[in-house]
Amino acid sequence: MINEEICPTEPWQVRETRLETELLAQMESVFALANGYLGLRGNLDEGEPHEISGTYLNSFYEERPLPYPEGGYGYPEQGQTVVNVTDGKIIRLMVDDEQFTVERGVLHSHERVLDLRAGVLRRDVDWESPAGRRVRIRSRRLVSFTQRAVAAVCYEVEATDHPVRITVQSGLAANEEQVKVSDDPRVAAALKDPLLAVEQDKEQHGAVLLHRARTSGLLMAAGVDHVIETPGAYEEETDVRPDWARTTVVTELPPGGRLRIIKFMGYGWSTSRSTEALRDQVAADLNGARYAGWDGLVAAQRAYLDDFWDAADVEIEGDPALQQAVRFGLFHVLQAGARAEGRPIPGKGLTGPGYDGHAFWDTEGYVLPLLMYTAPRAAADALRWRHSILPHARDRARTLGLSGAAYPWRTIAGGECSAYWPAGTAALHLNAVVARAVDRYRRITGTELDFGVEILVETARLWVSHGHHDADGVWHIDGVTGPDEYSAVADDNVFTNLMAARNLRAAAEACARNPELAERLGVGADEPDVWRACAKAVHVPYDERLGVHPQSEGFTRYAPWHFSDEKHGEPLMKHAPYFQLYRRQVCKQADLVLAMHWCGEHFTPEQKARNVDYYERITVRDSSLSACTQAVMCAEVGHLELAREYAWEAAMVDLRDLHGNTRDGLHIASLAGAWSAIVEGFGGLREDENLLHLAPRLPSSISRLRFNLRHSGFRLLIEADHENTTVTLRDGPEGRLRVLLYGEETEVSAAEPVTRPVIPVEPLLPPPQQAPGYAPGQDSVN
Amino acid sequence: MINEEICPTEPWQVRETRLETELLAQMESVFALANGYLGLRGNLDEGEPHEISGTYLNSFYEERPLPYPEGGYGYPEQGQTVVNVTDGKIIRLMVDDEQFTVERGVLHSHERVLDLRAGVLRRDVDWESPAGRRVRIRSRRLVSFTQRAVAAVCYEVEATDHPVRITVQSGLAANEEQVKVSDDPRVAAALKDPLLAVEQDKEQHGAVLLHRARTSGLLMAAGVDHVIETPGAYEEETDVRPDWARTTVVTELPPGGRLRIIKFMGYGWSTSRSTEALRDQVAADLNGARYAGWDGLVAAQRAYLDDFWDAADVEIEGDPALQQAVRFGLFHVLQAGARAEGRPIPGKGLTGPGYDGHAFWDTEGYVLPLLMYTAPRAAADALRWRHSILPHARDRARTLGLSGAAYPWRTIAGGECSAYWPAGTAALHLNAVVARAVDRYRRITGTELDFGVEILVETARLWVSHGHHDADGVWHIDGVTGPDEYSAVADDNVFTNLMAARNLRAAAEACARNPELAERLGVGADEPDVWRACAKAVHVPYDERLGVHPQSEGFTRYAPWHFSDEKHGEPLMKHAPYFQLYRRQVCKQADLVLAMHWCGEHFTPEQKARNVDYYERITVRDSSLSACTQAVMCAEVGHLELAREYAWEAAMVDLRDLHGNTRDGLHIASLAGAWSAIVEGFGGLREDENLLHLAPRLPSSISRLRFNLRHSGFRLLIEADHENTTVTLRDGPEGRLRVLLYGEETEVSAAEPVTRPVIPVEPLLPPPQQAPGYAPGQDSVN
């Protein structure tokens, strides 16, 4: 287990104090470097030992068969899986005649540091070979934010006591042995050695390898280039084979002598470009990197991140664990999305093979809001990807017998890849989540995305075609799966219904704002009226007797879940069949609570308090998306201490491997959710059509909270303690922003920060109990 | 398409007037011979051409993998598939140097007749070889009802114009080429050549081959023996190889000369016996057959069937199509179950590889009632099989988190083989259907099956563990799949709830009748009270506004199905996703209507009329189980002409291949359902705890109906025309039976038949319309 000793709480970095081989896989994810285009897992430079070796290019995938023992209409036949592409980060070291590995000899010290301000992974090793030869190894690795196809390693070896012969083999390797991805031999076979060698080019100090994914046919190129610095003589040689290349440097180091190798990596891939074009692109990327040099790349990285942190940082005084974790989360969300540029942001970012590298609704729901407030350009790019896959979504809607567009539950390139129909056909809510992101982008940045209107219109059409009016004219959405995956195929899921209604209204309003665009999209004269009418008539089930909202029709009438006295070590779905889970009062994740967070205006404060109380008792958080939502709503109804525990859980999901699967990649949405827990939970951040809402209220552990936002082109700083809140507009002098501060409308200008006393919330109900073993926070998590 | 010309309507036989190669597969099923233990498809003697060559031993199966692209808790990993075992029915013929096949030369005539009274398949062929040599071939085939492991062929060749050299090769062949069973190469591989040769024995006039199924390990033996009769000289030789044996007879026939070969086949299989024991069993079976001789087997077959028809025949005057079809159905149901003796009755009987050879709830629901009234011993044997798989069902209940026993949705040997969880975990109703069969057996035969009490108790326990009481004490069963597979995972399915309540009451009553047995089964003192209380509190949803029962909670509020103007050529589930089907008002099969048939006492006549009217409009009969139920309930509410159309559809399902899949085997439950449509529909047959109900009412096409039943050890004859009904007890002189005739209680004795005038039902509503293209009957079916 990752703990304070191995990974101490420090405000601006994640540091591994020693190497624990049983934590190798988790730390590979934690130390992953990426920029949204290229991702490198935190594998050791020497490649081994590793749990999952990973180098990923956003959207470079291989197809895999989806074999069903009992097929069904609309089941996708082909899936998509992220590929571990040609690995350029391997640097093997021979000390005299002993290959360096942490598994042999004496590891006098080992430290790795992920520096969140520098955007560099540093490693410092003091190793003594079995033959008694001692060296210091110092490596620095980055994936450039400013040159998106470039990664680099600065690798130094220093002899200490004895003169040693040093051989460094800097590699490039395709088709590395893969982690087992499937029990099905067909699938495993399809994904074994997925890269077919196309061409190899040997350069003066490196090589370029071109490969094609066997079934998807996607083409990729990976190249390396080297700068070698050492005072003495050395020999350099490069060997190239179809699946690997190796640049070897041999030298003798006297005690205190040092060899320094800068390794530049360049990557490219394409669905359509020629091998020649791709080869040249990678060569140019390597030229660019060499031109910048290691120091230039490091400096640019720092400047990029300084700019990011300037308008994104969250400072949490008094709660160092949350402080570290929220920055860790911000950093990894940025890494996942910064340079995706029209490609998806997968659930795991580019940090591991989990979920086959697929993107889900988490991105629009949890990740993009953070980016909209901190790096809006990246958010727009992610929405641009959604727009680019509209043709797939339209096809899918036709397949499902619906109009408009039905986005996939999980995908890389746009086609539905879910082999489970209650998700892959029935989880329609995701379309409303995409639409909400489009609409929020406009509210937060002040800019309407033209392509976004098309998304709003096509998703609105989907809802109208699936929903229906009953004999009383009430509009229903039946048989869908809401966010809570333990209640699939339900009727009138409140979250889905409210989000669909919002989707419909947003589409109507967008058409009103953009009449010409609407006409180009073929929006009929009365179509927006139909959308508004459906939205107005939407059914929101309410249990009068209990005074709570059932998360879907009939939910509060279902049998309770029989909790045992202790929490199970694994998710309920691993030891209960779906048909039992689906019609019991147990929630994998906050669903109705999420509806209250995202569609808060539809609930009274009293309903919110009672609903939180009700669902707290039955939500087991088997999804990592749950804790952040519970944090926000617990904070809103006044359970600030409980909210802090949920915020901690969301934030620490990977730094403490709370779900036991950090090995497969980080939980990007939960990390973004930690930001949401703090900024929307303790900061009270919301926005409506006209106003930014703020209402900071801090739990006892946090003495002071400062957070930065971008809004409508402004930078905003919110500072709060237990007495006062101050809102500062940092851009001026003309800037003015209307803010609802503790419910009171006010205007903030660059000249005049606004300070108001904190108005606390008196909770209507005492803090709720969770099911046995399911209380949040450090101690209760297995 | 099978039509009147190819297959004319004749009262006691099914005759094929000529060979249509595109109907080969369907006629292989129609002409299948079986006795419940052994089944031979109606393949041509010479083996080819064939569509599906089939020889089946009840419960002899091979395992197959069930690969899931996205697995789930409780999904079975291994399936079971019926195996085409060693084929003993092949008799190849050489006429001079030309191998006889219907595909070459001139087929002057070809006729096959399935004789329903003789239990023999006759074939008469007049063939001229391409070389101009003409022969008459006459074969007779039977699968013995009296010697269950034995089949036999009497094969005669007669030279006509020219002297010819005749070579007959009588074969025994394992691992015949299989029809494609799966698109999945793993599954196909697992089922290719499933039989491993174990031992071969060459006998004087035949051979025995022993094989083992590769994965399931089941052992089987097949043997043949021959009697050769011809006036002239002949040579006989037998060759034996691991996978085949061949007895060759060569002779010269003068014009008018005849060769006659009697071929006896013997089969055996075992999970546990030794190869020696099995080899000896088959040898003994062959001895027994030879001892009886062909004529002896034929005579015993006739006697067996005379006895069956005596107390099972249904005579329908005025409607020859129904007349033929109902006898065809009775014959095939008998073939499916007669000698199963503790083995299941699969959905396709032993007539083809459809549904992998699995048994479903259809058996207890549709097939066993017919057998209880006509061949009760076979019904008891089938229930004995259910009892024998209780250990599997208990394990399955544990896996599903439930108490008692949860029977499999589909199986051969008892383990769940369904790869679709809404069926394989959620279709709990089948347990109540099994329980109902147990209880009906007692009512109909007057005999309590001791082992049946255990079934009642264990299924009752299942219901109590899954159902729950709401805050008002109403008992609900949520998230289950009822009979209608287009509305899966629903709450409070009326059929399921009423059947579960009946199951609970039947268990409580059985324990009261058998207190010692109950104690041995560990039934707690208050357990039956709990069962009764649940049954009493069961929720039966009712839509007050529409005055109909929703088939499950909320059903009548769902969106209508958008029917196109014409019926689709294939089931809706082939062109619509589940989540769309499941929450629309469209029924694959009668579900609520089945509840009214099987639990009629819970509905008023007015409710029945209105419910029939409502569901008629939305039921598409994509299941072959639907038409018979609709026939029964249409008849009950007075739509007799409509009922006749449904009866026709149920009866002709295979004789006209109405579902387009007769090739894979016959629809045994639908064939039994045709009997139910006539006897329960037009005859008004029902039974309650104390009385047999009868209320014949005939549609205009039927001038007179006579049907026989066995009840409480008596034979009963019911005769009705449009004026009068007469009930005769044929066993006496002490026999007395209490009957509710047109609602009036009366006693029938052997001495005094009872005659009453028909009391017609005035329908409350006019005959309902079906959805466009879905009206029943000959013309509307594609």
pLDDT per residue as tens digits for the range B648-680:
999 999 999 999 999 999 999 999 999 999 999
Question: Cβ contacts (< 8 Å) between A65 and chain B: which residues?
Answer: 69
- Distance in Å, alpha carbon of B665 to nearest chain A alpha carbon: 19
Point out the residues of B that are catalytic. 485
Hey, are the CB atoms on B425 and A66 less than 8 Å from each other? no
Q: pLDDT tens digits, residue range B395-420?
A: 999 999 999 999 999 999 999 999 99
Shortest Cα–Cα distance, B143 to chain A (Å): 34
Contact in structure between A661 and A354 (CB atoms under 8 Å): yes
Length of chain B: 782
Strands A686-687 and A150-159: unpaired
CA–CA separation, A350 and A329 (whole Å): 14
The CA distance from A317 to A582, in Å, is: 42
CA A587, A590, A593, A598 torsion: positive or negative? negative
- Segment 576-615 of chain B within 8 Å of chain A by CB: 576-580, 582-583
Secondary element (H or E) of residue A166: strand A164-173
- Does A573 contact chain B (CB < 8 Å)? yes
What confidence score (pLDDT) does residue B566 get? 67
CB spacing of B579 vs A187 below 8 angstroms: no
User: Which residues on chain A are in Cβ contact (under 8 Å) with B481?
Assistant: 579
What is the least distance, in Å, from the CA of B490 to any CA of chain A? 9
Degrees (nearest 5) of the Cα angle A525, A531, A536?
135
Nearest in space to A344 (alpha carbons), one of A333, A334, A365, A358: A358
Measured between beta carbons, which residues in chain A are less than 8 angstroms from residue B480? 579
Q: Are B551 and B626 in contact (CB under 8 A)?
A: no
| pLDDT higher than threshold 50 for residue B782 | no
Whether the per-residue pLDDT at B635 is higher than 90: the answer is yes
Instruction: Determine if residue A703 is left, alpha or beta; phi over 0 gives left, psi from -120 to 50 gives alpha, anything else beta.
Output: alpha
- Min distance A535 CA to chain B CA atoms (Å): 17
A473 touches chain B (CB under 8 A): no
A/B interface, count of CB pairs below 8 Å:
137
The pairing of strands A475-476 and A559-560 is unpaired
Q: Which A residues in the span 336-375 are in contact with B, Cβ-Cβ below 8 Å?
A: none
Instruction: Identify which of A393, A409, A431 has the alpha carbon closest to the alpha carbon of residue A355.
Output: A409
Report yes or no: A542 at the B interface, CB cutoff 8 Å: no
Question: CA of A586, closest CA in chain B: separation in Å?
Answer: 14
Residue B574 near chain A (CB below 8 Å): yes
A558 part of contact set with chain B, CB < 8 Å: yes
With bands split at pLDDT 50, 70 and 90, how would you rate the model's confidence at A285? very high
Q: Please, are residues B353 and B665 in contact by the beta-carbon 8 Å criterion?
A: yes
**Is the model's pLDDT at A780 over the cut of 60?**
no
Mean pLDDT, residues A240-254 taken together: 98
Question: What is residue A108's three-state secondary structure?
Answer: strand
Using a CB-CB cut-off of 8 Å, the residues of chain A touching B579 are 400, 421-422, 425-426, 479-481, 489
Band (B187; pLDDT cuts 50, 70, 90): low
Q: A554–B553: do the CB atoms touch at under 8 Å?
A: yes
Q: A582 to chain B: which residues are within 8 Å by CB?
A: 479, 489
B778 pLDDT exceeds 60?
Answer: no
Torsion of CA A213, A219, A222, A223, to 10 degrees: 140
Candidates B320, B303, B268; CA nearest to B151 is: B268
Give the distance from residue B1's alpha carbon to the nearest chain A alpha carbon, in angstroms. Answer: 27
Cα→Cα distances A240→A197, A220, A278, B549, Å = 12, 17, 18, 75
Give the closest-approach CA distance of A755 to chain B in angstroms.
50
Measure the CA–CA gap between A2 and B707, rounded to whole angstroms: 78
**Tokens of residue A376, six digits:** 């809006």
pLDDT at A766 over 90: yes
| Residue B112 vs residues A176, B1, B88, B554: alpha-carbon distances, Å | 64, 17, 20, 52
Determine the pLDDT at residue B510.
98
CB of B181 within 8 Å of a chain A CB? The answer is no
Taking contacts as CB-CB distances below 8 angstroms, the residues of chain A near B585 are none
CA distance A198 to A221: 9
Confidence of residue A570 (pLDDT cuts 50, 70, 90): confident
Whether pLDDT at A781 is above 90: no
Nearest by CB to residue A583, choosing from B72, B491, B558, is B491
Residue A468 has a CB neighbour count (10 Å cut-off) of 18
By CA distance, what is B428's nearest residue in A?
A: A579
Distance (Å, whole) CA B672 – CA B329:
6
A478 touches chain B (CB under 8 A): yes
Q: Does residue B543 sit at the A interface (CB-CB below 8 Å)?
A: no
pLDDT of amino acid B751: 87
CA distance B247 to B207: 8
Mean pLDDT of chain B: 95
Segment B431-459 shows an average pLDDT of: 97
Q: Quickly state the pLDDT bin for A188 (edges 50, 70, 90).
A: low
Tell me the C-alpha distance between B88 and A52, whole Å.
56
Closest by Cα among A410, A427, A397, A419 to A490: A427
Give the C-alpha distances (Å, rounded to integers) separating A266 from A37, A120, A176, A197, A271. 11, 17, 18, 17, 18
Minimum-distance CB partner of A573 among B67, B73, B553: B73
The whole-number average pLDDT for the span A6-27 is: 96
Among residues A592, A703, A593, which one has the least CA distance to residue A644? A703
Question: What would the pLDDT profile of B559-588 be if each residue is shown by its tens digit?
Answer: 999 888 766 678 999 999 999 999 999 999
Which segments of A292-338 are extended strands (E)?
A: 314-317
- Put simply, whether A565 touches B (Cβ < 8 Å) is no
| Residue A190 reports pLDDT greater than 90 | no
Asked if A425 and B579 come within 8 Å (Cβ–Cβ), the reply is yes
pLDDT of amino acid B184? 62
Nearest to B68 by CA among A353, A421, A575: A421
Which residues of chain B have a CB within 8 Å of the CB of A187? 69
pLDDT (tens digit per residue) in A703-755: 999 999 999 999 999 999 999 999 999 987 788 999 999 999 999 998 889 99
From B419, B559, B579, residue closest to A70, measured CB to CB: B419
- Output the DSSP codes for A347-359: TTTTS--GGGG-B
Q: Please tell me the predicted confidence (pLDDT) of residue B188.
A: 65
Measured distance CA(B652)–CA(B646) in Å, rounded: 10
Asked if B422 has any chain A CB less than 8 Å from its own CB, the reply is yes
Residues near A274 by beta carbon (within 8 Å), at least 6 away in sequence: none
Q: Which of A476, A557, A573 sits opposite B470 (nearest CB)?
A: A557
Sign of dihedral through CA atoms A652, A655, A660, A663? positive
Give residue-wise pLDDT tens across range B92-148.
Answer: 999 999 999 999 999 999 999 999 999 999 999 999 999 999 999 999 999 999 999
What chain B residue is nearest to A65 in terms of C-alpha separation?
B69
Amino acid found at A659: H
Q: Which of A70, A497, A588 to mutate to test the interface with B (most CBs of B within 10 A)?
A: A70
Name the amino acid, one letter, at B758. V
Give the Cα separation of B153 and B43 in Å (integer).
13
The distance of A612 to chain B (nearest Cα, Å) reads 21
Whether A491 contacts chain B with CB within 8 A = yes
**Residue type (1 letter), B42:** G
In this prediction, residues A38-65 reach a mean pLDDT of 96
Give the one of A481, A557, A578 whose C-beta lies nearest to B72's C-beta. A578
Strand, helix or coil for residue A181: coil
pLDDT of residue B735: 84
Q: Is the peptide bond before A130 cis (omega within 30 degrees of 0)?
A: no
* Average pLDDT score over residue span A689-703: 96
Phi/psi for B235 (5° steps) reads -115, 145
Is the CB of B489 inside 8 Å of chain A's CB atoms?
A: yes
Distance spanning both ends of chain A, measured CA to CA: 10
* pLDDT of B181 above 60: no
User: pLDDT value at position A141?
Assistant: 98
Q: Which of A187, A165, A7, A171 is nearest to A94 (CA)?
A: A165
Place of tokens 């949860």: B406
Would the CB atoms of B579 and A68 count as touching at under 8 Å?
no
Cβ neighbours of B574 in A, within 8 Å: 73
Q: In this complex, do A184 and B420 lie within 8 Å of one another by their Cβ atoms?
A: no
| Residue A288 tokens, joined | 């660019």
Query: CA nearest A396 in B: which residue?
Result: B577
For residue A240, count other CB atoms closer than 10 A to its CB.
17
CB contact (8 A) between residue B72 and residue A489:
no
Which residue type sits at B376? P
> Which residues fall within 8 angstroms of residue B319, CB to CB, at 6 or more apart?
B644, B701, B702
* Gap between the Cα atoms of A408 and A406, Å rounded: 7
Judged by DSSP in three states, B658 sits in coil
* Catalytic residue from among A98, A485, A616, A687: A485
Question: From CA B107, how far away is CA B401, in angstroms rounded?
Answer: 62
Which of B463, B544, B579, B584 to mutate: most A Cβ within 10 Å?
B579
Tell me the average pLDDT across A101-109.
97
In three-state secondary structure terms, A94 is strand
3-state secondary structure of A616: helix
Strand order across the beta sheet in which A258-270 lies: A13-16, A106-115, A120-128, A134-143, A150-159, A258-270, A219-229, A207-213, A195-202
Cα of B410 to nearest chain A Cα, Å: 13
Question: Per-residue pLDDT tens for A448-479?
Answer: 999 999 999 999 999 999 999 999 999 999 99
Mean pLDDT computed over A235-240: 97
Search chain B and give the residue with CA nearest A428: B579
Which one has a higher pLDDT value, B193 or A145? A145
Interhelix angle A390-399/A450-466, rounded to 10 degrees, is 10
Q: Choose among A183, A470, A579: nearest Cβ to B557.
A: A470
- The SS3 call for residue A288 is helix
The answer to whether residue B491 scores a pLDDT higher than 90 is yes
Report pTM: 0.95
Name the strand (E) or helix (H) holding A528. helix A527-536
Q: Residues near B710 by Cβ (< 8 Å), separated by ≥ 6?
A: B311, B312, B373, B374, B375, B376, B444, B445, B716
